[in-house]
Structure 1
């Protein structure tokens, strides 16, 4: 009862300063803003595509998907529509469905997308029904490249600090195996020569090749990730930089140090700061997508690095419960609900998914430590945006069509439920499933999105 009174008070206070044209919106609209945070290849594009497809099929075709989503009962849904979100490009839903139709997975996100999903519900309470015949539930979604997320923490560092930390990262962990060529370039480079544009480009291109190879090999913590995106508005060709040996970064008078410090400052001021201001703000709910299979497919070191990466990323966002004053006067939101989501859960048998959920819980320990003493609600989920596999002949097996189109069965060893259970040097091959011809039916059969939405909307039991 107290919560209902507080909610009505919030709306009444907000209505006091509104015109009659917008007064009805205060009482007939409920808005939820989601930020989908995920590293590259975590499945953001497919998740968005499936979510919109499921909700539209649920309302327009009466399909019984999202069975646990009690907050949006199909019998009460009058209409679902998609509208642009001001300041963002529209999410390419039609293009993604066309790609699936051609047997291709949706393209990776390389720029920011935003859209509103507006669900119009019939009023059920008798009093409200006579005053306002419907309620609009507005979902605002923001999607952006995973490479941007890993770059934002660079805002809090000086060039020398970043350079030293970057050298430490590529000299240890799994990165060291892919940085050999880059280190050779540095070792043979003559830093006594002045930093001309040509010499700077030579170093930057060599470092970028390392970033490309490391990303291909499943490395999650790569900076600057923006250098990997052809669509990036930052001119890394002219203002690029790389980590430099400590013998140079310790000498603030060195010409190479001064050149890269200047470029690093331009990267922070002209790219990262505006990016954080425009993209990483005004959201109250966050979905953090985690692709555990990328690590399982490579090594235990990759999983440890994923854990470290998620811990660093938690520093990028503002967590806490927003008050009425901060939301309506200061126009600032804080994230009050966080969902940690392991994607592509259909790539292992159902019998192994409990272990996968346990592993996800351990991988997020560092990120959750950032929530200490803050009123944050969080939960862990396994989600299949599209069910590309079928049950196998045993509980340890799955069936699917491989990249050659052959219907095959794979049997799995137990997935580790904790990092310590994965032996050094071991890896778990991940099925490379082909886009199924019946992709829409398999999207509608996806699992986990209903529980995820139910948690984020704050309705029903978990």
Structure 2
């Protein structure tokens, strides 16, 4: 590495520190469980920012409404070891023929933008024609947050948790492939055999997600390994067989599984927190409340528990200027019920109320710690239009769109419960929350959305002053 390159890297780092101190830098983290719409959200967010000074559809963002946002552009990211978010690929999918949802990301990805704006403050305007805010958007799987509670568990405690889960007949039936393994805790460690059983255990986790609609999947890296796919530290299983009767020494099967569990916690779970999570300034969590309602009460209860785990994971605290220099902390948390355009508009208040009920405990702790939180329903990219249907001489609100199979749809999906559903609600079954393709969009125009501008006002409004 040349001296010139080294000096340039140090200059970039120093500039980054100065920008943090002057409140000119925001590291915004975006997460959510599988199929919550993270990739579409980030793609739409970047698209709206790039169009903000030309044809923005952002009336609820004060800086845009008053013409103070001069523009935004993508700039090289500072963290060269993190993959770049595939924005162009996402746009190609959304603008395709037919339009399609972007492919989900499988690990951490990042994109950086430079926002130029006119300050509201007279003194700042006299010092410079415009001000600059650097926005780093980081995408990471919500499943990885579900692993953070593992740091407080021993291998024995985690194994007991999984053993309790297997008391549910549906889970135990799907787990038959790896539960039928015949081995003893004192058996000598066999690399190939452990890798094979870990593979069937991972397949079980995927089936729990795909067939049962479950979200609370641990270890999260088993289903979304990122760059560690195939690594030995992802090849272990909980011990759900007969408990060891004596201490299992080095070289035994049980000791090796326990060691790999501890290695996983220290190098992947703790490593993710130290390298990424602890450096976020603001956080948005996307929640698809509709798919678990379709899947049934067990899927919904599992999603509720997973959300509770995610809310426990955040490190709260006001991000004042000296903490920003040395130890950034999340000071704003936005919780979003995604895919709001998959229900009719009069159902949006109930959708927000349902989300508020699901995260009530975590929000209470956040307020106690001094963090500002907000819940809202939005659609980062519109997939439906609001219309009307008729049945038996009666007119009812309906959604018009195209199903994932290409067939046109006109339907009223049903009413969203304002609180976690009761047994009576599940028995009625008068709902059908369909999935839609994105609406066709014209290239070189900002994409249609629902309340993405309200999200930007909450997350960045206080920075563009």
Q: Is the 8 A contact 1:248 1:257 kept in 2?
A: no
Q: Residue in 2 aligned with 1:407?
A: 408
2:151 maps to 1:150 = no
Q: Residue in 1 aligned with 2:458?
A: 455
Q: Residue in 2 aligned with 1:325?
A: 322
Q: Is the 8 A contact 2:233 2:263 kept in 1?
A: no
How far does residue 57 in structure 1 lie from its aligned partner after superposition?
A: 1.7
Q: Is the 8 A contact 2:162 2:240 kept in 1?
A: no
2:297 maps to 1:303 = no
Structure 1's consecutive aligned runs of 4 or more residues displaced over 6 angstroms after TM superposition are 20-24, 26-29
2:132 maps to 1:136 = yes
1:86 match: secondary structure: coil
Q: Residue in 2 aligned with 1:371?
A: 366
In the alignment, the residues of structure 2 paired with residue 201 and residue 348 of structure 1 have an alpha-carbon distance, to the nearest angstrom, of: 44
Map 1:406-425; keep pairs closer than 5 Å. 406-421=407-422, 423-424=425-426
In the alignment, the residues of structure 1 paired with residue 119 and residue 367 of structure 2 have an alpha-carbon distance, to the nearest angstrom, of: 39
In the alignment, the residues of structure 1 paired with residue 388 and residue 31 of structure 2 have an alpha-carbon distance, to the nearest angstrom, of: 36
The counterpart of 1:164, out of the listed 140, 160, 166, is: 160
In the alignment, the residues of structure 1 paired with residue 273 and residue 421 of structure 2 have an alpha-carbon distance, to the nearest angstrom, of: 36
Map 1:58-457; keep pairs closer than 5 Å. 58-59=52-53, 62-73=54-65, 75-87=67-79, 88-102=82-96, 103-123=99-119, 125-172=121-168, 176-183=169-176, 185-187=178-180, 189-191=182-184, 193-217=187-211, 218-229=213-224, 231-233=226-228, 235-237=230-232, 239-245=234-240, 247-248=242-243, 252-253=247-248, 255-328=252-325, 331-371=326-366, 373-394=368-389, 395-421=396-422, 423-424=425-426, 428-438=431-441, 444-457=447-460
Q: 1:446 to 1:158 in 2, by over 3 A?
A: same
More off after superposition, 142-151 vs 218-227: 142-151
In the alignment, the residues of structure 2 paired with residue 202 and residue 316 of structure 1 have an alpha-carbon distance, to the nearest angstrom, of: 32
Structure 1: state its 5+ residue gaps: 1-19
How far does residue 93 in structure 1 lie from its aligned partner after superposition?
A: 0.6
In the alignment, the residues of structure 1 paired with residue 273 and residue 15 of structure 2 have an alpha-carbon distance, to the nearest angstrom, of: 33
How far does residue 165 in structure 1 lie from its aligned partner after superposition?
A: 1.1
Q: Residue in 2 aligned with 1:17?
A: none
Q: 1:236 to 1:425 in 2, by over 3 A?
A: farther
More off after superposition, 357-366 vs 417-426: 417-426
1:397 match: secondary structure: strand
Encode CA deviations 1:375-420: one digit per residue, 9 max, x unaligned. 1211111010111111131444211112332322112332211114
How far does residue 47 in structure 1 lie from its aligned partner after superposition?
A: 0.3
In the alignment, the residues of structure 2 paired with residue 453 and residue 326 of structure 1 have an alpha-carbon distance, to the nearest angstrom, of: 23
Q: Residue in 2 aligned with 1:40?
A: 34
Q: Is the 8 A contact 2:177 2:200 kept in 1?
A: no
Q: Is the 8 A contact 1:306 1:363 kept in 2?
A: no
1:386 match: secondary structure: coil
Q: Is the 8 A contact 1:197 1:238 kept in 2?
A: no
In the alignment, the residues of structure 1 paired with residue 72 and residue 177 of structure 2 have an alpha-carbon distance, to the nearest angstrom, of: 57
Q: 1:23 to 1:398 in 2, by over 3 A?
A: closer
Q: Is the 8 A contact 1:66 1:449 kept in 2?
A: yes
Q: 1:212 to 1:125 in 2, by over 3 A?
A: closer
How far does residue 63 in structure 1 lie from its aligned partner after superposition?
A: 1.4
More off after superposition, 186-195 vs 303-312: 186-195
Per the normalisation by structure 2, the TM-score is 0.85
1:373 match: secondary structure: helix
In the alignment, the residues of structure 2 paired with residue 349 and residue 122 of structure 1 have an alpha-carbon distance, to the nearest angstrom, of: 38
Q: 1:235 to 1:270 in 2, by over 3 A?
A: farther
More off after superposition, 236-245 vs 266-275: 236-245
Encode CA deviations 1:95-139: one digit per residue, 9 max, x unaligned. 111122333311111121122221111356554333211101222
Encode CA deviations 1:36-82: one digit per residue, 9 max, x unaligned. 121121111000000111121222xx214011100344633333111
1:380 match: secondary structure: strand
More off after superposition, 375-384 vs 240-249: 240-249
Aligned residue pairs: how many?
Answer: 434
1:334 match: secondary structure: coil
Per the normalisation by structure 1, the TM-score is 0.85
